[in-house]
Chain A
């Protein structure tokens, strides 16, 4: 796509030194730096939405390498599926060093996704096919609504990665705003990007932290979207018994993932009980 038909906003989230000192955007006729002092993914996204002028906003993380036809395809999809408010595509990993075999259990939590068949819908209950944050395309109307909603609601800002916190329910939250406005969401096999994964991220402590944060913020999101739903956490004795049986029967990594998920849900439950 010609660079005069899209603009580039690089949001600097309190980096030291400022990104503008180490990064040259002069190759692009319509690019600028935006400073956001408030740390976190959600404030950064909101800053981007406030400043953006395009009809479609594409969110790209600093470790996402878009395929050369990504922006063109994003626009083509908007034209062919004008009823969609948020859409994304395949996110394939590129590991800095060859990952160990056990990584397979964690891959779904690394925001990676292969799409074999394009799918779209306006149902808000199929999380499996919601677009994820890496490379997510959002139409302007949905983005503005999300901005308005989040500015009113502090819990929503908490949903997302803050500093070192790693959860990604903010992605779902943004995508589901499309459904609230009568638009749909979709995932498309034609859209593709590569997610660079540095060697430092391949530690099971880091990955378990992601799992826990994700479970935590998904549970918060679920309660916020349908206030009647309850976070299911079993009693202390059952948890201990469950732990024992898992320790006896399950493979180590799988067991650790399950336990991290449970910790996340328990944390979310406590947060909600404290609020009420």
Chain B
């Protein structure tokens, strides 16, 4: 049995970047016999199995997941994986050659950790504008200088990102059971017309439920390719809205949502503060507020029983985005 399952979910990928992602996997120092490769083709308009040549890997499969969305695609990949360690790789993640072998080292050295990640270095198609630099972590770009590990839940910024996320099988299994039972967990995860994210911190936080910890290690490193399109303000604001909505739902799921933030007076005060910011920061924070409030409203409707399924929740969220702040 392989020691690692690499799960790569993709939807209409950019061919040149996917080729580089696969090239980086091909160059892994860990022997190919010790890991399997699962590529989840998430309803791409031209099926990937005709285009990709995976003959270099003796244990690679392409799975077709017709239901569009980051969440169903990931579920599919996790369900079909076999190894005790699962590494989630996006179609724009270029792993360092020693990534997988380091993952195994950490798995052996740290039996008390359930999920971990490392440094995600940005590789930009075009030079990012200066206003973007403080917000790079929105795009899952972050450099880790010293190892961090903790079993204390609460600080979302300490969680590993989904790009290059390493999870133990027991954590993934628990996560899949939880998602199947809870429609709110199915809501987390982007799709074509819908932007709530949060499935990455959700799976990483599941480690805490099993009394395991999470970690960030500088020796794990990947390059995250960011196309020019992803650096456009509209695309960024979409990501911000989706992230902040995801954080509200996740905080509710983890019993730490501070509802007082959403009272009318507090909201007014926050809006006033945001309006005083310089222009781009203002747009970012407005998008954050918009995402948070739309998610909070949908959440209230869900808790009171007016919404029952994930689909209803998504529709309500999209509807709420166009409503005013008050």
Contact residues of A with B, CB < 8 Å?
81, 83, 117-123, 126, 129, 182, 184, 186
Does any Cβ of A come within 8 Å of B252's Cβ?
A: no
Are A121 and B112 closer than 8 Å at their CB atoms?
Answer: no
A117 to B213, CA, bound (A): 13
Pick the residue among B146, B152, B211 that contacts A121 (CB under 8 A). Answer: B152
Pick the residue among A81, A117, A122, A182 that contacts B150 (CB under 8 A). Answer: A122
* CB contact list, B182-220 vs A, under 8 A: 211, 213
Are B158 and A123 closer than 8 Å at their CB atoms?
Answer: yes
A196 to B209, CA, bound (A): 35
Contact residues of B with A, CB < 8 Å?
112, 146-152, 155, 158, 211, 213
Are B152 and A123 closer than 8 Å at their CB atoms?
Answer: yes
Q: How far is the CB of A111 from chain B (nearest CB, A)?
A: 20
A122 to B155, CA, bound (A): 13
Are B147 and A121 closer than 8 Å at their CB atoms?
Answer: no
A220 to B40, CA, bound (A): 54
Are B152 and A126 closer than 8 Å at their CB atoms?
Answer: yes
**Do A184 and B149 form a contact, CB below 8 Å, given A121-B213, A123-B158?**
yes
Dominant SS among interface residues on chain B: loop
Pick the residue among B147, B148, B155, B213 that contacts A120 (CB under 8 A). Answer: B213
Q: Which of B147, B148, B151, B213 has the most CB of A within 10 A?
A: B151
A184 to B155, CA, bound (A): 17
Q: How far is the CB of A126 from chain B (nearest CB, A)?
A: 6
Are A120 and B158 closer than 8 Å at their CB atoms?
Answer: no
Are B150 and A123 closer than 8 Å at their CB atoms?
Answer: yes
Q: Which residues of chain A are near B149, meaning CB under 8 Å?
A: 83, 121-122, 184
A129 to B149, CA, bound (A): 14
Q: Which of A118, A120, A121 has the most CB of B within 10 A?
A: A121
Give A123's nearest chain B residue, CB to CB: B150
Q: Which residues of chain B are near A129, meaning CB under 8 Å?
A: 152
A123 to B214, CA, bound (A): 12
Are B147 and A119 closer than 8 Å at their CB atoms?
Answer: no
Q: How far is the CB of B223 from chain A (nearest CB, A)?
A: 26
A129 to B155, CA, bound (A): 13
Q: Which residues of chain A are near B148, meaning CB under 8 Å?
A: 121-123
**Do A118 and B152 form a contact, CB below 8 Å, given A81-B112, A123-B158?**
no
A74 to B247, CA, bound (A): 38
Q: How far is the CB of A79 from chain B (nearest CB, A)?
A: 12
A121 to B148, CA, bound (A): 8
Q: Which residues of chain A are near B158, meaning CB under 8 Å?
A: 123
Q: Which residues of chain A are near B155, meaning CB under 8 Å?
A: 123, 126
Q: Which residues of chain A are near B151, meaning CB under 8 Å?
A: 118-121, 186
Give A80's nearest chain B residue, CB to CB: B112
Q: How far is the CB of B322 from chain A (nearest CB, A)?
A: 39
A120 to B112, CA, bound (A): 10
A126 to B154, CA, bound (A): 10
A83 to B148, CA, bound (A): 12
Q: How far is the CB of A250 from chain B (nearest CB, A)?
A: 19
Q: Which residues of chain B are near A122, meaning CB under 8 Å?
A: 147-150
Give A121's nearest chain B residue, CB to CB: B150
Q: How far is the CB of B188 from chain A (nearest CB, A)?
A: 25
Q: Which residues of chain B are near A118, meaning CB under 8 Å?
A: 151, 211
A119 to B153, CA, bound (A): 9
A144 to B212, CA, bound (A): 30
A149 to B79, CA, bound (A): 52
Complex A-B, nearest 9 residue pairs according to Cβ-Cβ distance, in ascending order: A121-B150, A119-B152, A121-B152, A119-B151, A120-B151, A129-B152, A123-B150, A126-B152, A122-B149
Give B150's nearest chain A residue, CB to CB: A121
Give B146's nearest chain A residue, CB to CB: A182
A83 to B147, CA, bound (A): 12
A268 to B230, CA, bound (A): 49
Q: What are 30 contact pairs spanning A and B, CB under 8 A?
A: A117-B211, A118-B151, A118-B211, A119-B150, A119-B151, A119-B152, A120-B150, A120-B151, A120-B152, A120-B213, A121-B148, A121-B149, A121-B150, A121-B151, A121-B213, A122-B148, A122-B149, A122-B150, A123-B148, A123-B150, A123-B155, A123-B158, A126-B150, A126-B152, A126-B155, A129-B152, A182-B146, A182-B147, A184-B150, A186-B151
Q: How far is the CB of A117 from chain B (nearest CB, A)?
A: 8
